[in-house]
Structure 1
C-alpha cells in the first residue's frame, strides 16, 4: 500500500475506552486529499488490523485518550502499532488545547453549523493532520541500567596496591567495552557514563532505552571476581506531545516557550530560561538519564531551543533536541571559560541575582544565555516593528517564531492573522444511500404529514406572539423596579463609603504599627550584629585570633577567585572547605603566592600525599577548634602557632626520611653497579 495514507479516527457515541467492552471507532482513510474508505463501529482490534494492512504514515484523533483510559494502557496500545506510524492529536497545539470544530473552522474545513458526527470528526482530524496541525504523541521508553564496577575492595595483598588497582580498572574497562559492542551490534539506543582513571575506569553506567526483557540473555547480573555487572530496570509512563508543524494554530500556547542549556556528562548540568531571559531552573545531577531530564523540562513548558557550550554538540544533545522537537543553537565554536564567566557575571548583575553554581551548572546556564543574547537584537527590532503596525499580541509568541527561523515580516503576519476573522467553507459529506424515486402513496402520506406540521407551526407562532407580549410587560416592570433599586443603592453606597473610609484608616493604622514593630526588631538585630562585629574586630587587632583565608574547592578557578577576593599573599593561612574536587595546579598556585599553611577537614589520601610532595604544612581543622563568624573561619592565635610549628616539624621529618631513603637507594644502586664492574675485571679473559 501507499505510505502517504492518513487515518482519521473518532470514538463512536456510547463507547468508552475504560469500559469492559471494546470501544468502537469511526475510521476514515485518506490518500492525500482523497477519501479512500470509511468505516463505522470498528473495534480496537480491527483498528489495529487495519493499521497493519494499510500501514498509514499518520493516525489522527482529537483526543489520544480515546484509545485508552490511562497512560500505561495507552503505551501498551502504542506497542501494538506498526513501526513508523505517527499518532497525532490535532487538538493539542503547542501544549494548549483547542476544540476540533474551532480548528476545522480556522482552516476552512467546517462552517460551524450543526454537531459533528464521528465520521465527519474523523475526516476533519485526518485533514488537519495533513495540514501540519497538532502534536505527535509518543512515550518515554523504559530504562534499563547496566552498572559495571569493581567486584573486590582494593587493599592489602600479594600484588602491590597500585598494580592491583590498575588491573581491576583495566578489567572494568574491558567488560564495559564488551557490553558496548553488544549493544551496538543489536542496535540498542543508550547513553554511557564512566569515570576514567589512567588506562582504565573505576565504574561504568549504561542507560539503555529499552526494557530489561528486550535485552534477553545478552546481559545479565554476574560477578566475575574483579568485576561485577548489575542490571536493573526503571519503567516510565510519561506521554510526550511534540508539535508536528508550524501551522497558525501552533503559534500561541498557554504553556511557556523555553530555552534549554545542557552540559552532558557523568554530572549533567541543566538550565531553563524563558523567552524573556528569566531563569526558571538550574541544577546538576550525577548519571542524569535522558528520560529524567525530559520530565524535569516538561514541568516548566515546551522547549524550542537547546544550547550547549561545546561545538559540535554531543550525540546526547542531538538526541534530546530530536525527542523534544527543538532546534539546536549553533555558536560555531566552543565557549571559552572566560566567555562563560563573563556571560554569567553580566546576567547576575543585570538581574540582581545571587547564584551559587558548580561548574556544570555554569556551563549549562552560560550556553542558554549565549543563545538568548544572540536573539536579543532581533527581538528588539521585531517588537519595535510590531508596535509600529499596531500589533498587541503576545511578544513571547513573536519571539518563538523568530527562534524557529521565521523572518520579522512572516512572524508578525502570522500572529496578526490569528486576530483576524476566519472565513467558513462548507464541507460536503456524502450520504451513504439516497433513494432516487418514491412511489405516489409515500408522497401523499408525506404531504398529509406536512400539512399537519404546518398547522402546528401556526399554533406555536400564536403562542409565541402572546409570550412576546407578556415579555414586554415584564421588561417594563423590571425597568421600574431597577430605577427604585438604583435610588436605594445610591443611598446605601453613600453610607458604605463613610464606613469604608473609617475601616481604611483603621487598617492603615494597624499596618503602620506592624511596620514600626518590624523596624524596631530589625534595629535590635542590627545592633546585636554591630556589637558582635566590634568584639570580633577587637580580637583580631589584639592578635588573639587569626582569620583564615577561605577557598571553597582546590580548583584553579576557586583559588584564583579567592586570591582576588581575599588578597591571599605570603604568610597567609588558607582554609579549604571541600577536598572532593582537587587540581594539583591549584595547590601549586597557593604555593606560588606564599601560602604558609593549609587547614581543612580530613582530606583524601591522594590530597595529603600532594601536600607532602610539595612540602606544604597541613593542619586538621578538628584539632585546633576551628570556628566561623558570619561565614569567615578563624582560630585562636596561640593554638594555630603551636599547631603550625608541629606540622612543620612533622613535614620536615617526613621530608628528611624520604631524602635519606632516596640517598640510600642511589647508594645501593651505585654499589651494585661497581660490584658488577669489579666482577668483570676479575673474570679471566
Structure 2
C-alpha cells in the first residue's frame, strides 16, 4: 500500500508571490521510502505518475484557499488516490499531536518532514477522514482539440478529419464502457463528417471508469464528476470509539460521556428518557467501555444499560459527596444537578484508570492503537495478551498461513520423587509470593492512609485559603469605605472651619459677613450652598456678572438671601438689574463698602452697606410704584379701547 504524507514548509496557497513548498514523505508497505521537498506543481506531477493509494494531510488549508479550490485539487488527483485529512472533519477537529498520541507516536511539531511522516503513518493505521466532494456519477466529454477556423481550399477535408476523430474516439470509449459493464447514457452532437462532441453520463465513480483524461492533436477527453452541495468527511474506519459513560438515573436521566483521555464528548439530561432511548443516545457517540455511577451500589437501570453493552462496571467505594461532585464537574458546563452527578461519576472512573492508561502508553510500541489496548486491559487482559489479540485480528483468516508443527520428542514423565520435590518447591514459591503480596497490601494500605491524610490537609488548606480570600475582600471593602468617609470628614471639617470664621464675622458689630459666589450659575450657587450653607439674612459677594441666566437668578430667589454685592469695576446691565428687582433681591455695587475677601467668605462695613441698602429700598419702592402706574394706565387704555369698540358697534 502506498501512502504519501505532506506538510507545508513555506509559502501559502493564498499568496500570489510566494507559492507553497511541501515536505513529501513516501511510505510503501510500512516502509519509509523517501522524504523530499517539492512544489505544488511537482507534487501533482508525482501523484499523477505514481498514483498512491492515500495522500495524507493535516489541514485542507495547506492545499486549497477556499472550497472552490478544494474541488479543483480533488479533481486533479488520480482516480485511485484518496485525500485523507488525518485531523478529522469539519465538525470534530483534533490536532495532529492528539491523533498521533492515540497510536503512541511522537514527533517534532516544528519539523515539516516529521509532520508529513506522522500524517502518513496515522493515515496508514486508519486515522482521519476521507474527503469526498463528488457524487458516484461521472461525465465523460469528448470534444474537438482545436477549432476548424475559416480555412481555405482544404477546409472541408480538414473539418471532416477533426469531426471523424471525435466520433472515432467516442466509439472507442463506448466499447471500453461496455467491456467494463458500466451503465451509461450517451449524447452525440452530429457535425459535418462526424461529431463535434460526444457526452457520456456514467453511473460510476471516476476511479471505476477505465478511461483517463486525454489531449491529442485533434481530440480531447475530459472526465469530471458531479459536485456535491457540500464537502463530506467520511471516517476511514467505521468502528466507533470507546467511551467512559457516567449515568444518573431517575425521573430525569442524565448521561455524561468521556473518551479514554478524559475529554468530554457528550452531556445531556431528559425527563422522558427510557433505557432504550439512553442506549440509542450512547450508541450515537461510540461504544461505552466503562459505565459508572456515583453510588456505591449500581442502580438497576444503570445495570440494564451496562449489560446491553457488556461494559465494565465502575462503582466508587462510597457515595460521592456533593462538594466532591462540584469539584469534579468544574468546567463541564452542566445545567442541573443530574448532569453534574453523571459527569462526576464518569470523571471518578477516568481518574481510577488514568495512571494505568499512562503506564500503557509508555510501554506500548509505536504504531499500536492505544484505545484498543486500553479496552482489552480494562477487560482483564495483560498487555502481552492484548498485543497478541490485536496482532491476531490484524491478520485476515483467508491470508493466514497454517504450517504443520514439527514433531518434538516427548520428554520422559518425571518420577514420583521428582514430582514431590517439584510440588514442594512450588508450595514454597507460593508461600513466598503470598507473604510478598501481604507486605505489598500493607504498604498499599499505609500509602493510602498517608494519601488520605494529605488530601485532608490539602482540603483544609484550600478551605482556609478560601476563607482568607473572603476576609481579605471584606477588609478591602472596609478600607475603601474608610477612605471615602475620611475624605468626607475632611471636607466637613473644612466646611466647619469656614462656618466658624463666618460666625465670628457675624459677631462683629461694625462688619457684615459676605459669602463669595464665583459666578451667576447654578453650579456655582449649589457649590456655595454645599460649602457655606444658605440663610435668609446672608449677603452674597458676586465675583463675575457675565454669563448670567434667569435659571440661576431663580435659584438665588429660592435661597431667599438678603442681597447681592458686585465688585466696583463690574458693569451691571439694565436687564440684570431689572431681573433682580423683579425677584426683590438687592444688587448693590461694592464701591465704598470697604470689602475684604478671604477665600470663600469676606466682610464689608455695616454702616455703608445699610445706607446703600436703604437707598436701594427707596429705588425699589419707586420702581414698584411706577410699575403699578404703568399697569393702571395699561388697564385704562384697554378699557377705553373696549368702550370705543362697543360705541362703534352700537352706532
TM over 0.5: no
Bigger Cα Rg: 2
Greater RCO structure (CA 8 Å; 6+ sep): 1
